[in-house]
Amino acid sequence: MEHFYARLFVRYPEIRSMFPHAMHDHMERVFAALTRIVWAIDNPDSLTAYLSQLGLAHRKFGVKERHYEPFITVLAETVRHFSGPGWTAQTQAAFQAALGRAASVMLAAAERDAAQQPSWWVGEVVQHDRRRPDLAVLTIRPDQPLRYTPGQYLAVQVPRWPRVWRNFSIANAPRENGLIDLHVRGVRGGMVSGSLVHNTRPGDTLLLGQACGEMTASAGQDRDLLCIAGGTGLAPIKAIIEGVISASQPGRRRKIVLYFGARTEEDLYDLPDLRVLEWIYSPLTVIPVVSHQADFEGVKGMLPYVASQCASCEESEIFVSGPDAMVRQAAALLEGRAQGAQIRYDPPDAAG
């Protein structure tokens, strides 16, 4: 990736301003995206869905049609350079076809999206609630209507770090006033998350990207829900629960069981709000789970094991959100009791 970007910026210096000053994280994300594209090349439906999301996401960077050709040209040259004797006419044709197809899908998705919504929104912070030393709940007012489905996430850019975007899940179902909540934990070395927790105040403005993500409740279903949320992974789960509650009709109401896990009782930062939801919607049961506090009076243990052992999930829609390792472990433990299609979670780079 260093070789690729060095060649790209030398040959097309006008492109450099579109990228962040520090490139390490960006290089890792681009390499991961390229790997996923190559891996999924024989699964057209999955690949098209992923490329469409990439095309939408690139709009916030200011990417236009004219930028695709330089990127593809230098990328193919880079692959050829490192392939050595393994680069053949057949290989070249395959890469050109694959990259050309990727560009066409991304461009088509971006053009459709541009006809419906802006590339990015300006969001004003109207409330900054510091729940823990390293965790804050931000309430933001976008300058234009921002459409999303409960469970989706969006990218955020702070003034301190231009051209650096990080994903955060929206923590509420759509509201009439358009306000959105973000649950942000400041991670060590996290430029955007740290700035949002420690250096952001009401009245500050942020840039917001369009909503993305497929961890959403199925429309028209009446299946019960099993939700497993670790830490700030609660954000999309809470939005999904609010969405189900607001869509509920008299008669059959969907039962919801939420396992909310943290290391200590103090880390259950949103439990009071969840108790309010529980009071409003009686089919909702919230079960706090603490892993590192012996004197906790509730359920103790590691969240994936507790949820997989105690939950009735055979007929439920299952949503898992939180740290990557926790999500993978919970999904693996539940696979023996539920069909894979029932278990919903976003890829590791979704939430910030």
10 Å Cβ neighbour count for 330? 27
pLDDT confidence bin for 336, thresholds 50/70/90? confident
254 lies in some domain: yes
pLDDT confidence bin for 93, thresholds 50/70/90? very high
349 pLDDT exceeds 70? Answer: no
217 lies in some domain: no
214 lies in some domain: no
**Amino acid occupying residue 299:** V
334 pLDDT exceeds 90? Answer: no
Q: Which of 183, 208, 233 is the last residue of a domain?
A: 208
Q: What CATH number is given to the structural domain containing 20? A: 1.10.490.10
Nearest to 153 by CA among 62, 242, 233, 72: 233
Burial of 190 (0-12, 13-18, 19+ CB in 10 A): middle
- Between 193-202, 269-278, 333-342, the lowest mean confidence (pLDDT) is in 333-342
- Note the pLDDT of residue 311: 63
Three-state secondary structure readout of the chain:
CHHHHHHHHHHCHHHHHHCCCCCHHHHHHHHHHHHHHHHCCCCHHHHHHHHHHHHHHHHHHCCCHHHHHHHHHHHHHHHHHHHHHHCCHHHHHHHHHHHHHHHHHHHHHHHHHHCCCCCCEEEEEEEEEEEECCEEEEEEEECCCCCCCCCCEEEEECCCCCCCCEEEEECCCCCCCCCEEEEEECCCCCHHHHHHHHCCCCCCEEEECCCECCCCCCCCCCCCEEEEEEHHHHHHHHHHHHHHHHHCCCCCCCCEEEEEEECCHHHCCCHHHHHHHHHHCCCEEEEEEECCCCCCCCEECCHHHHHHHHCCCCCCEEEEECCHHHHHHHHHHHCCCCCHHHEECCCCCCCC
Nearest to 320 by CA among 274, 259, 275, 272: 259
Range of the domain at 103: 2-114
Q: Which of 114, 144, 161 is the last residue of a domain?
A: 114
Domains identified in the chain, total number: 3
| End-to-end CA, the chain | 23
For residues 231 and 316, membership in a common domain is answered with yes
For residues 10 and 31, membership in a common domain is answered with yes
Q: What CATH number is given to the structural domain containing 332? A: 3.40.50.80
- Residue 11 CA to residue 21 CA, distance in Å, equals 18
- Note the pLDDT of residue 319: 94
Q: What CATH number is given to the structural domain containing 163? A: 2.40.30.10
For residues 238 and 333, membership in a common domain is answered with yes
272 lies in some domain: yes
Nearest to 113 by CA among 30, 48, 52: 52
For residues 272 and 295, membership in a common domain is answered with yes
For residues 63 and 146, membership in a common domain is answered with no
What digits encode the pLDDT tens for the residues 168-224? 999 999 999 999 999 999 988 889 999 999 999 999 999 999 998 889 987 667 788
For residues 180 and 239, membership in a common domain is answered with no
For residues 27 and 90, membership in a common domain is answered with yes
351 lies in some domain: no
What is the rounded average pLDDT for all residues in the chain? 91
Is the pTM of the predicted complex or chain greater than 0.75?
Answer: yes
Higher pLDDT, 295 or 219: 295
What digits encode the pLDDT tens for the residues 300-330? 999 999 998 876 777 788 999 999 999 999 9
292 lies in some domain: yes
56 lies in some domain: yes
For residues 155 and 134, membership in a common domain is answered with yes
- Note the pLDDT of residue 352: 38
Q: Which of 208, 235, 253 is the last residue of a domain?
A: 208
For residues 142 and 54, membership in a common domain is answered with no
- Between 154-163, 257-266, 331-340, the lowest mean confidence (pLDDT) is in 331-340
For residues 67 and 94, membership in a common domain is answered with yes
For residues 99 and 126, membership in a common domain is answered with no
For residues 247 and 324, membership in a common domain is answered with yes
